[in-house]
Homo-oligomer: A and B are copies of this chain.
C-alpha cells in the first residue's frame, strides 16, 4: 500500500462528525478498497469544546478554517461548513491555490461558484468532487457524469429535497394541511426552524443547477431557474390528485430543447405508475433520460449524517484511487452557456385549483378565462362548501402550451370570485 491520503476536515456538524465516524468504523475496508488508508490529520470548526460524540483530540485543530489549506500534512480538504460564500468559499479557493483537492457537500456554493471552482481545480490539476451535494448518499453525480456519459441526456428530473418530500408524504397519508405537517416536521427535527430554503425550492434549485450542468455540459446557471415550493399545496390538492391517479411531488426538472435549457423546481402531479410516485418520506430520487440508455433511476437517502458521509468518503476513495477527472462532465472550457428556455412554449398538462366564493357565475368566469386563453379542460371537479364557506374547483387541462395556462390565470387575477391565489401544478406525463 502507498502513503495514506491525508484529509483536513472543515466543519464538524452532524455530517462532519459522521465522516469521522465512518472513516473510523470502516477504516480497514476503505483502505482495502481505496488501495491506501484515508486519515484525517486536522480539523476546524466554530466551537472547539463542543462534544460531537467522536474523539477529536488526535487531530490537529485550526481555529482559522482557511489555515487547513496551508498545512503540509493535508492532501485533500473536505469542506462541510456550508453557505454559498464566506469561509466555505475562501477555504475552497485556498485549497486550490495550495494545490490540494477539495471534497464538498456544499450545493449552494457550487450552484453559485461551481464554474470558478471547477476552473481553479482544473488549473491546479487537483480534484473537485461533490457527490454529497446532490441527493445525499445517492451516487447520482457519478451516475450521470460517468455511468451515463455516453448519452445525450434529454431530461433530468427528480425529488431533490427530502424535507419537502417528507412533508408531502405526510400530508398524503395523514390528510393534513401543509402548515400542520411542517410544524410536526420541525418538532421532529426533520425541518429547520427557518424552513424557507427547503420549502420554497431553493435547496432543490441548487441541486438541480448542478445536475443540469453535469447532464447537459452547460455552465451551472442557478439564476435561470424558475423556483416554486410547496407552501401553497393544500391537503385538498393532494386528495384531488389522488382521486385522479396522481401523487404530488416537488420536482426539480431540467430539459434541453431547441429553445435552450429549461430548468424549474415546481410541485407536480406524478402518475402512480411512475417510480417517483412511490418515493416517500425523506428519500431522494433522480431520473435521467438518455438517448441510448433510456430511463435511469437513482434513489436513496437524500440527507442525514450517514448517507452524506458515505458520499463524501466515496469521493475521497476515488481521489485515493487516483481518479481526478473533470469536476463537471467535461473540461470547463468545453462547457457551453445554455440559452434560458422560457416555459411558455413548453407543452404539457396542468392541474389548477381555485378556492372560490360560493355564488352564482364563478364557474362560468373560470371556464370563460380558460376558453379565452385557449386552454382545453380535460376534467373539472367542484367540491361542495368547505368549513370556511369557500368552494374548491380543481381542473386538469388537456395537453397544450404552458403559455395559455399562464394567460388564463392572468385573466383571472384580481377576480372577486377567487379567494386566495390559484394553485398551478404541472403534470409529469
Contacts and interface: CB of A to CB of B under 8 A. Distances in A.
Nearest to A140: B147
24 contacts: A32-B330, A131-B147, A137-B294, A139-B142, A139-B296, A142-B142, A147-B314, A148-B310, A149-B313, A150-B309, A150-B314, A150-B316, A275-B299, A291-B306, A292-B307, A292-B309, A292-B313, A293-B307, A293-B310, A294-B304, A295-B300, A296-B300, A297-B298, A298-B299
Interface residues of A, number: 59
Nearest to A304: B294
B300 A150 contact: no
A334 interface: yes
A317 interface: yes
A150 B307 contact: no
Interface of A: 18, 22, 25-26, 29-30, 32-35, 131, 137-139, 142-143, 146-152, 217, 275, 278-279, 285, 290-301, 304, 306-307, 309-311, 313-314, 316-318, 321, 323, 325-326, 329-331, 334
Contacts of A275: 275, 278-279, 299
Contacts of A143: 139, 142-143, 147, 298
Contacts of A297: 285, 297-300
A293 B301 contact: yes
Given A143-B139, A291-B26, A34 B299 contact: no
Q: Taking the full assembly, how many copies of this chain does it contain?
A: 2
A33 to B, nearest CB: 5
Contacts of A325: 321, 323
Q: Which has the most chain B C-beta neighbours within 10 Å: A148, A293, A318?
A: A293
Given A139-B146, A151-B310, A32 B217 contact: yes
A146 B151 contact: no
A31 to B, nearest CB: 9
A170 B307 CA distance: 36
Given A150-B316, A293-B311, 14 more contacts: A22-B150, A33-B329, A35-B330, A142-B143, A143-B143, A150-B317, A275-B299, A285-B297, A293-B306, A293-B310, A294-B300, A294-B307, A297-B297, A298-B299
